[in-house]
């Protein structure tokens, strides 16, 4: 103890001011805590979506709004559309580097960073939205996703779901697997790989270029999302055969990733608020898609002459067989992908009988 501090301590004790001094310290501590409370934290969220893009972009904005409101304004989140701060496919790197604290996107875009990432959005003949949430939150899914993103300084979050997508728009009917031969179809990712094995030519085009490509005949078919988003793109003007189901994306999970350092710097209550806001929109987005898809589907059929069709069973059987082969081969390329796919595949095979006797049976019964 320095002589000055010793002197002050002695003097304080001698004057009977110990209690007063402690009281001052307490007030100072309270004052600085409330100053810290009032200090606003400014976060950025980069996204892979055009501004206010229905479902995906609006979902991302709702996460920001919930964080702002639930935190009483202690965190403000500014949302950036694709290209405003970073490009659509630079979201992962931007959040990893801390340029933004949050990123709203789809994990299958990051296959080039870590192959295992693609199993956390949707895979051909994989999990439905409900099953995906079951695997993520009550199976090993989230733990494995955290393991996959940890090396990049990222914490993953499930940030929405499109629900079951549509199989796509075709300018001719699909009556057998032979109809895929030579078919130029916009279908990115693993689904594209599967149709390639049927002799199709998969094409990867960004959303904004799909309509023109389909209308000009540069492609014969395309998948996009479902009635809500597909109607907005006007795809019904370029092709009339609208096929179900979206076997390649049975329930696509969106993501809201966080920069690990930014998250760990938050006090515990704000951490809980950020996670809760993301979790809220994870469920909310599915409700939005379900509500909007049904009205858009009705309009497409009743006002735009769209013919909704199902792929024949033997086509789906072949697609499933090829999908399982593609997935097994893809997963075998590295140990983490192998571990993630093994977990998800086992979960799918275990949950399928339950879904069949629950959702499957009631849907069948309701349509009798």
The mark string for 226-265 relative to Ca ion (x by CB under 5 A, - otherwise) is: -----------------------x----------------
Residue 43 vs 169, nearer CB to Ca ion: 169
Residue 249 vs 260, nearer CB to Ca ion: 249
Q: Do 254 and 163 form a contact (C-beta atoms < 8 A)?
A: no
The phi, psi pair for 48, rounded to 5°, reads -95, 15
Residue 61 vs 165, nearer CB to Ca ion: 165
Q: What is the nearest approach in angstroms of Ca ion to the Cβ of residue 73? A: 36
DSSP letters spanning 304-333: H--EEEE--HHHHHHHHHHHHHHHHHHHTT
- Cα distances from 323 to residues 179, 248, 320, in angstroms, run 18, 8, 5
Residue 174 vs 225, nearer CB to Ca ion: 225
Q: What is the nearest approach in angstroms of Ca ion to the Cβ of residue 57? A: 15
Q: Which stretch binds Ca ion (CB under 5 A): 96-104, 143-151, 162-170, 232-240?
A: 162-170
CB count within 10 Å of CB 334 equals 13
Q: Which stretch binds Ca ion (CB under 5 A): 2-10, 120-128, 161-169, 328-336?
A: 161-169
Q: Do 242 and 298 form a contact (C-beta atoms < 8 A)?
A: no
Residue 155 vs 205, nearer CB to Ca ion: 205
The SS3 of residue 245 is: coil
Tell me the longest C-alpha to C-alpha distance in the chain: 98
Residue 274 vs 286, nearer CB to Ca ion: 286
The mark string for 294-333 relative to Ca ion (x by CB under 5 A, - otherwise) is: ----------------------------------------
300 CB-contact burial (10 Å; exposed 0-12 / middle 13-18 / buried 19+): buried
Q: What is the nearest approach in angstroms of Ca ion to the Cβ of residue 131? A: 18
Q: Which stretch binds Ca ion (CB under 5 A): 97-105, 157-165, 277-285, 344-352?
A: 157-165
Alpha-carbon span 235 to 220, nearest angstrom:
12
Q: Do 121 and 252 form a contact (C-beta atoms < 8 A)?
A: yes
- Cα distances from 315 to residues 138, 178, 179, 182, 212, in angstroms, run 33, 9, 10, 16, 28
The mark string for 39-78 relative to Ca ion (x by CB under 5 A, - otherwise) is: ----------------------------------------
Alpha-carbon span 140 to 343, nearest angstrom:
7
Q: What is the nearest approach in angstroms of Ca ion to the Cβ of residue 39? A: 42
Residue 127 vs 274, nearer CB to Ca ion: 127
β-bridge partners, 43:
77
The mark string for 106-145 relative to Ca ion (x by CB under 5 A, - otherwise) is: ----------------------------------------
186 CB-contact burial (10 Å; exposed 0-12 / middle 13-18 / buried 19+): buried
Q: What is the nearest approach in angstroms of Ca ion to the Cβ of residue 301? A: 20
* Residues near Ca ion (CB under 5 A), total: 2
Residue 118 vs 165, nearer CB to Ca ion: 165
Residue 46 vs 225, nearer CB to Ca ion: 225
Q: What is the nearest approach in angstroms of Ca ion to the Cβ of residue 219? A: 14
CB count within 10 Å of CB 14 equals 9
Q: What is the nearest approach in angstroms of Ca ion to the Cβ of residue 223? A: 5
Place of tokens 């697609």: 319
Q: Which residues bind Ca ion (CB under 5 A)?
A: 165, 249
């Amino acid at each position: 103890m320095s002589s000055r501090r010793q002197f002050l301590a002695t003097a304080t004790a001698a004057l009977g001011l110990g209690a007063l001094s402690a009281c001052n310290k307490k007030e100072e501590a309270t004052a600085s805590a409330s100053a810290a409370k009032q200090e606003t934290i400014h976060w950025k969220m980069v996204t892979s979506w055009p501004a206010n893009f229905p479902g995906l972009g609006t979902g991302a904005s709702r996460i920001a709004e919930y964080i702002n409101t639930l935190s009483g304004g202690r965190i403000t989140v500014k949302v950036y559309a694709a290209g405003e701060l970073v490009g659509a496919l630079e979201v992962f790197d931007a959040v990893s580097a801390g340029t933004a604290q949050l990123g709203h996107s789809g994990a299958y875009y990051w296959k080039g960073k870590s192959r295992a990432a693609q199993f956390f959005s949707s895979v051909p003949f994989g999990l439905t939205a409900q099953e995906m949430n079951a695997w993520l939150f009550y199976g090993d899914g989230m733990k494995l996703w955290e393991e996959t993103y940890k090396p990049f300084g990222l914490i993953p979050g499930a940030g929405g779901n499109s629900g079951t997508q549509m199989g796509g728009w075709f300018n001719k009917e699909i009556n057998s697997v032979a109809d895929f031969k030579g078919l130029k179809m916009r279908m990115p990712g693993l689904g594209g790989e599967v149709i390639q094995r049927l002799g199709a030519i998969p094409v990867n085009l960004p959303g904004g270029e799909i309509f023109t490509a389909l209308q000009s005949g540069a492609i014969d078919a395309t998948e996009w999302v479902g009635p809500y988003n597909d109607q907005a793109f006007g795809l019904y003007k370029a092709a009339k055969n609208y096929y179900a189901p979206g076997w390649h994306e049975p329930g696509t999970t969106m993501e809201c990733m966080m920069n690990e350092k930014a998250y760990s710097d938050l006090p515990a209550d704000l951490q809980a608020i950020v996670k809760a806001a993301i979790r809220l929109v994870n469920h909310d987005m599915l409700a939005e898609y379900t509500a909007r898809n049904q009205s858009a589907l009705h309009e497409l059929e009743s006002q735009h002459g769209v013919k909704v069709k199902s792929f024949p069973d033997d086509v789906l059987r072949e697609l499933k067989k090829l999908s399982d082969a593609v997935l097994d081969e893809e997963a075998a390329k590295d140990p983490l992908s192998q571990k993630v796919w093994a977990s998800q595949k086992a979960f799918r095979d275990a949950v399928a009988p339950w879904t069949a006797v629950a959702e499957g049976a009631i849907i069948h019964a309701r349509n009798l």
